[in-house]
Copies of this chain bind each other. A is one copy, B any other.
Amino acid sequence: MFYTIGEMAKKLNVAASTLRYYDKEGLLPFVERSGGGIRMFKDEDMEWLTIIECLKQTGMPIRDIKTFIDWCMAGDATIDQRLDLIDRQRKSVEQQLARMQNTLRVLEYKHWYYETAKKAGTCAVHDTLSKEQIPKQFRNWIHG
Q: Which residues of A contact B (CB under 8 A)?
A: 44, 47, 50-51, 54, 57-58, 75-76, 79-80, 82-83, 86-87, 89-90, 93-94, 96-97, 99-101, 103-104, 106-108, 110-111, 114-115, 117-118, 121-124, 143-144
Which B residues are in CB contact (< 8 Å) with A108? 90
The answer to whether A82 and B114 touch across the interface, beta carbons within 8 angstroms, is yes
Q: Given A83-B115, A93-B100, 9 other A-B contacts at CB below 8 A?
A: A47-B143, A47-B144, A51-B143, A54-B103, A57-B99, A76-B124, A79-B123, A93-B103, A97-B101
- A-side binding surface: helix, strand, loop or mixed? helix
Question: Copies of this chain, how many?
Answer: 2
